[in-house]
Each structure stands twice: as structure tokens, then as C-alpha cells.
Homo-oligomer: A and B are copies of this chain.
Amino acid sequence: MFRTNTCGELRLSDAGKNVTLAGWVQRVRKMGGMTFVDLRDRYGITQIVFNNELDAALNEAANHLGREFVIQVKGAVSERTSKNPNMPTGDIEILASELNILNPSEVPPFTIEDESDGGDDIRMRYRYLDLRRNPVRRNLELRHRMTMEVRRYLDSKGFLEIETPMLVGSTPEGARDFVVPSRMNQGQFYALPQSPQTLKQLLMVAGMDRYFQIVKCFRDEDLRADRQPEFTQIDCEMSFIEQNDIIELFEGMAKHLFKEIRGIELTEPFIRMPWADAMKYYGSDKPDLRFDMRFVELMDTLKGHGFSVFDNADYIGGICAKGAASYTRKQLDALTEFVKRPQIGAKGMVYARVEADGNVKSSVDKFYSQEVLQQLRAEMNAGPGDLILILSGDDAMKTRKQLCELRLEMGRQLGLRDKDKFACLWVVDFPMFEWSDEEQRLMAMHHPFTHPKDEDIALLDTDPAAVRADAYDMVINGVEVGGGSIRIHDSALQAKMFEILGFTPEKAQEQFGFLMNAFKFGAPPHGGLAYGLDRWVSLFAGLDSIRDCIAFPKNNSGRDVMLDAPAPLDQKQLDELSIAVVSPDRQA
């Protein structure tokens, strides 16, 4: 062992001990005949003192240490004269009697400090240096603690962690697969799993009863800030349960994590909000409930007063921003610009301020009497000082989504989206199907194995678009951290589902035969869910991107710039795999 103690553990009670520390040089300061070195490791920082009067050569050597040198120091723990209450080791320092340079370091390309001067690109290229920074390292420590607690909780509930294969078959439905050419089976390919969905259902058929796995999944999609080609899922499945059992067990897991990891005791049951309500009141299937600003529909109030925009609208809805009546014209114009951005796509925005005397002043005063505006104020539950913001449109769902963006932006501007406050809920009763304009048919909103709600099964024949599913998402602070469903275990119902989805029996057999065949041999009622670990860690860490909680993430082009991967292969490797690279223009 190169050390007797870490750089984070010595305290005043250790004074007088002779110790050996090892770590990285964070900082060297020279003061008179003394040299102070801050020595850092994963566990903390300890101050080392070299004294010219005691050992001039040693002091001289310390003076030549550079940032990020790896050193070993021997010396005595001693009480500091000027203590630093901001660090756990701040009461002591080490009077050095020996110094060994274990490894020198070139000057790092950016500063290894909480706030670094390095840009994103260079930090990713030298990720091994970036990871030395406290905030990045802390994210990985948090991730470790979270997975430990998830495993502890699920183990205590009788779940078995079972590894499913990484080299599986390709399923062309859904997102694109990453594929892997097989050398031993020439011309054939494995696929990397987008999720272990069908495999975990097979484990239920196998009688495993309670399964989980913290597992890498792969999707070859174009990337955004919160997507990675490989990501990690907490994947779970249970047998002989109903929706409520799953929700209670995993709500318990969430509460366990909040308590153990964040020290937050959530005593109330999570709200269970039907999907239809989430869309109606928040314009989103993952509403951020840290703040209110629920949508109010204003068709009855504002239609038919001569304002043609509203008179022609199929939806008019408003939100009330408490205390925002002081917004300037400039701020309001900026909000209008915000909702008119192409990503959001509203045509315009109407606002109304409630003044101190209770009067309402709106941007469309010429069309509305004060009486109507007072009625608006009452419906919006707005008081003096409040600001009412209204959007309208000819497609209710689209307009609600625009109003959702406006609501989130107002929440942000008013400081209502505190990263240390958490609002959790379940969104339930998702629609079974959604219409695809592209495919001109109903598509499964989750996947074709999702169970419809029992009371809606009769609608499968008469009005399939109205059928709701036993599907549920866990939403925290406007982020979908997980979701799942009860699965179909009855083959007749499964056949009907494929029929509605436009599968011929042959096509269903071809694509999902291995699972349907398994269901012939005694499939138990089952269901489950999956959490996005990267997202959940980011949420607990208060991060904006999942990249910061991943040790070695890919960039937006799917590249690992540190490893310089992907890269061309040797011809020999291609030959062995019986594949060739074809330039796009030479394809048929």
C-alpha cells in the first residue's frame, strides 16, 4: 500500500500520528520559507507543509511540483494554526518529512477545478482528466449509490437479477437496431437489444416470478442532449400481479431512493393522473407538478365576442402566472416570440394583467368588456398582480402542447422549477393505440403486448382508438423516469391485438413467433416496467444532460472522441466477417 490514509480522512484527533498519503497535486503555494501543497484524491484534499528551515532540499523539491503530479508524502499530522472550516480535513495539515514523486504530469489542457476553464469538446477528449473534477466524480458516486440501493430494495422484495443476452435477433419494428455480423454464421447478424422486453416476458413464462436487471440497451437513433446510443435501464417484471401491485412496489422503491440518496422522506402516495387529464390540464404526458399553472379551457368565456382568432379556434386555454402582472411589454413580447418559434409553432399569444384594483387589462381589450374579463379572471382564479396567458388553435392537442411549453417557460422564469424540489406522479390509463399518419393505421402506443384495460376490451371491436391500456409512467419533475404495462397473456386477446394493428397471422408469427409460441405453454399474468437509469441519476444530481452522469459518453455524432471510435476496420477483419463497406451512391 502506498498510503496509510486517504486525503479525506485525517482529523484533529489524528494529530501527532505519522502518516503516508498519496494523491495528486491540486495546488502549490509558496509563503516565505514554507511551501503548501494541496494533495487530492477521490476522498478529499489534505494540506501538506514543507518547511525550508527544517529541510531545505525537501522544500526545494516541493517547490518544483507541478499541478497533477502524483506524489507520496510522509509526515506527521499536526494542528493548523489557521483552520479551514470549509473542508473536512481543514483542522490539520501534514508536516512533510519525505516526498516521492510517483509520476510527473504534463500541464493539463484545462483546470481540474469545480468550475473548469475547459470547453465540452476538450473535456470529453481528456475525459480521464475531467473525471478528476469533484462535480463529475460525484455524479458517478451518486450513480453507484443509486444502483446499490435499487439492488438492495429489489433483492429484499424477492427479485432475481438475471442477465439476458446482448447478442439477440433484430426486430425491424420500432427504433433502428445496432447489428453485429456473425463470423461463424456468415451473412447473418445479431442485434444489440433495444430493451430486454421479450426476454423478460420469457423469464415470466419460465416462472422466474420477479426479475430485474440493470442493463445496457442500444438504439441507433439520431442523438439529442438526453439520448445516447447506449443507455442503461433498470428493467423489471413480475408475475401474478395487477397494475396496482406494480405501482405500489415501485413507488416504494422511489421513496426508498429519495430517502437513502437524497434524504427526502416522501410520505404521501404519488398522484395517479389519467393520461387524458395530464393532456387536458398540462398538455403533456409528463407534467411537471412542482408548480401549479393548470390549464383552464376558455372556449365558453372567450368565444363569440368578435375576436376572430378565438372565434375560429377549436381550443382556447389559459394559464395563470401568479405575481407576474409586472411583466413588461418587452418581456411579454419575448414570450410571444418564444411560443411562435418553429419548435413550438403557436400563431400568437394573448395576455391579461390583473391590476392592483382588480381591473383586468388585456392585449385584446377592444373585443372584450370588463365584465367578460372579470369572468375570465374568476375562471382563471387570478388575483391582483397575476398574469393570464392564453393560447388558441384549431387542433386542441397541438395547442395544449404549445401551452405546455409556455407553462414550463413561465415556471422557469418565475423560479418554480427548483432542482432540489421533487414532484412525483404516475400517469396512468394511456391510450392503447395512436393513429399514424405515415402508416395510415393504428399503432401500439407502447408495444403490441400491452394489456388493454378490462373495462375497455369490448371497445376493441367497436372503437379501438378509444381503448385505454394498463400502462403507466412514473414522472418526476416533468421527466418520464420510467414506465411499463401489464402484458397480454391470453393468446386469443393477443391475436385480436395483432389483427387491429394490421398484422396478418403469418407476419405476427414471423416477427414474434418465439414469444407467441412460449405463451402456449402456460404464461402467467405478468407486467413490469423499466426505468431510465441515466435520466434518474441526472434528476437526482440536478443535471441538464444525461451525459454528465456517464463515465465515457458519446457525442452527438455517436463518437467517443477519447477512444476515437468508431473507426474503419482492417480489410482482414472485414473479410473474416464476409462483409464489405459500400459507399451510399453505389447502392442499388
Contact = CB atoms under 8 A, between A and B. Distances in A.
Main secondary structure of the interface of A (DSSP, over half): loop
B216 A166 contact: yes
Interface in A147-197: 147-148, 151, 155, 160-170, 172, 176-192
A199 B563 CA distance: 9
Contact of A568 (B40, B42, B188): B188
A275 B63 CA distance: 45
A4 to B, nearest CB: 11
A241 B4 CA distance: 11
B524 A22 contact: yes
A188 to B, nearest CB: 4
Contacts of A181: 179, 181, 579
A60 interface: no
Given A151-B151, A521-B129, A567 B170 contact: yes
A453 to B, nearest CB: 17
A68 B205 CA distance: 11
A564 interface: yes
A565 B169 contact: yes
Interface string A95-129: 00000001111101000000000000000001111
Contacts of A580: 579-582
Contact of A514 (B520, B563, B571, B576): B563
A176 B209 CA distance: 38
A144 interface: yes
A263 interface: no
A573 to B, nearest CB: 7
Nearest to A571: B588
A518 interface: yes
Contacts of A578: 581-584, 587
How many identical chains are in the complex? 2
A206 interface: yes
Interface in A336-355: none
Given A148-B155, A167-B554, A178 B180 contact: yes
Given A141-B160, A180-B192, A230-B165, A523 B42 contact: no
B242 A1 contact: yes
Interface residues of A, number: 125
Interface string A512-542: 0010001111111100000000000000000
A568 B103 CA distance: 51
B557 A184 contact: yes
Nearest to A25: B522
Interface string A38-64: 001111000000000000000000000
Contacts of A127: 202, 206
Given A144-B162, A165-B230, A579-B582, A208 B137 contact: yes
Given A70-B523, A202-B128, A578-B583, A165 B557 contact: no
A268 interface: no
A33 B579 CA distance: 68
B569 A166 contact: no
A298 B570 CA distance: 51
B132 A185 contact: no
B179 A180 contact: yes
B560 A522 contact: no
Given A140-B162, A220-B183, A242-B1, A68 B521 contact: yes
A2 B559 CA distance: 48
Nearest to A199: B552
A467 interface: no
A172 B160 CA distance: 37
A565 B208 contact: no
A245 B522 contact: no
Nearest to A184: B558
A392 interface: no
A240 interface: yes
A128 B184 contact: no
Which 5 interchain pairs have the tightest Cβ spacing? A105-B522, A169-B565, A131-B206, A188-B566, A2-B240
28 contacts: A1-B242, A2-B241, A2-B525, A41-B207, A105-B522, A126-B521, A137-B207, A137-B208, A140-B162, A143-B162, A144-B160, A165-B563, A166-B192, A166-B218, A167-B554, A167-B565, A169-B563, A170-B567, A172-B570, A172-B572, A176-B183, A181-B579, A189-B568, A202-B562, A575-B584, A578-B581, A580-B580, A580-B581
